[in-house]
Amino acid sequence: MLSHLLVILVKLLLGAYPRWIGVQPTRAQRVYFANHTSHLDTVALWAALPAELRRRTRPVAARDYWSRGLRALIAQRGLNAVLIERHRDRSEGDPLQPLYDALDAGDSLILFPEGTRNDEALPKPFKSGLFHLASRFPEVEFVAVHLDTARRSLPKGSLLPVPLICTVRFGERVVPGIGESKESFLERARAAVVELA
């Protein structure tokens, strides 16, 4: 119910039109990773997916931010988000464990590897979690995604979104090479997102 409402609201305000450039919308298990500039990114990418894929795709969100009040309702009931600890010292064991569990269960994920919202047009360097996931789940497709106007719609620190048409571009799969270093893979993944801009 809440998730239907979210999708309708996002489509009305942002359009969230998908462009399948590098991959097609198939039922393959995937991790969609995208640039992160606005809270709208998560819902825009999620709403851009066909309804059937949306049901099995869970956004990854920071527990410290998304576990209170209205945010918790949207993240947990609306988007069925996977919550993770951003700060390593606060987590017991591997902070990525909830992601491993979700992927083991067969779900797809939406991930923002910059770790936080970024005010610049180009994404910041990616955090290493993406590399660990890609090494551990070689059969999962890691797909680069770019969102264009979310930053202008709802920049960090504002409450009311400006209605702008958001185009969600789905690019190429990024596969880690044999023995490829973490830095090299993360830089290639980031370049794949930038290329879609």
Partner 1 sequence: MNFSDSLQRFVAGAPAQFWWVMGGVLALLVVASAIGQTLTRVKPGSVVDNLNARINAWWVMVAVLCACFLLGKVATLVLFAIASFLALREFITLTPTRRGDHLPLCLCFYVAIPLQYWLIGANWYGLFVILIPVYGFLLLPAVSALAGDIGNFLERNTKIQWGLMLTVYCISHAPALLLLDIPGYEGQSLLLLLYLLLVVQISDVLQYVFGKLFGRRKLAPEVSPSKTVEGLLGGGLSAAAIGASLWWITPFTPLQSGLLSLLIVLCGFLGGLALSAVKRSLGAKDWGEMIEGHGGMLDRLDSVTFAAPVFFHVVRYAFAG
Within 15-123, residue ranges assigned H as helices are: 40-48, 51-54, 63-66, 69-72, 97-104
CB of 50 to partner 1, least distance (A): 18
Residue closer to partner 1, measured from CB, 22 or 155: 155
Among 160, 177, 178, 179, binds partner 1 (CB under 8 A): 160
Q: Is residue 35 part of the contact set for partner 1 (CB under 8 A)? A: no
Alpha-carbon distances of 51 from 47, 48, 108, 110, rounded to whole Å: 8, 9, 13, 15
Among 101, 104, 119, 183, binds partner 1 (CB under 8 A): 119
CB of 156 to partner 1, least distance (A): 9
Are the C-beta atoms of residues 147 and 166 closer than 8 Å to each other? yes
Are the C-beta atoms of residues 137 and 153 closer than 8 Å to each other? no
CB of 108 to partner 1, least distance (A): 27
Rounded distance between C-alpha atoms, residue 169 and residue 127, angstroms: 21
Task: Please report, as ranges, the residues that interact with partner 1 according to CB under 8 A.
Answer: 15, 17, 119, 149, 152, 155, 158, 160, 162-165
